[in-house]
Amino acid sequence: MENQEKTTVNRREFLHAFLAAAVTYTLAACGRRPAGDTTPAATAGATTAALPSQAQQLAPTPACGDDDDVTPQQTEGPFYTPDTPERTSLLEPGLAGTSLLVSGAVLTTGCQPVAGALLDFWHCDDNGEYDNVGYKLRGHQFADDAGRYTLETIQPGLYPGRTRHIHVKVQAPNQPVLTTQLYFPGEPGNANDGIFHPDLVMDVQETAGGREATFNFVLDIA
């Protein structure tokens, strides 16, 4: 019992220290084009409001330290497109919608950050339509050395038959891909969506420039 209590305390101390450090992380690089990226979606949209430079961090969802509770897997859906541009901002000139900043970390069930994890995001536009020809509102990025990621985008609209959501694939280096979806709290469609999962709801805050959302992915690393 004593060893188990010490293990629990150590995990809590690690998580507290990790999140304290993450809060101070500046998102100055958000929206910066990677080398060679000439796609228009790598620039901030003229019609979208300015985003805050920093977002709060959440404890992992599900709770860190529970080896049985990894982030739930969900369907890919019919509109996935491979080989998306590498970028942390999906904003582009003329893109309508409420500005949304999503941030968090990729962690193992043992509370360890997954450096270099791949995150591939895609979602519909403000009118509920997906770009199935190009790469609008599609892009991938890699978590930093502390497992942190940041995504600048807009709040997705309502796709017929679904509640508001964001698709994402997460992959630790040399590990299987986790395909899942992220949801918004308080959406009327959550209760009637057959795919909706409460463990995938982001923490969302209103800001002067739009909305900030946080979510930490927990992976079962072999």
pTM (predicted TM-score) = 0.73
pLDDT in tens, 91-122: 999 999 999 999 999 999 998 999 999 999 99
- Nearest in space to 130 (alpha carbons), one of 98, 104, 165: 165
pLDDT in tens, 38-78: 333 333 333 344 444 444 454 444 445 444 489 999 999 99
CATH code 3.50.50.60 for 2-219: no
Domain boundaries, given as residue ranges, for the chain: 2-219
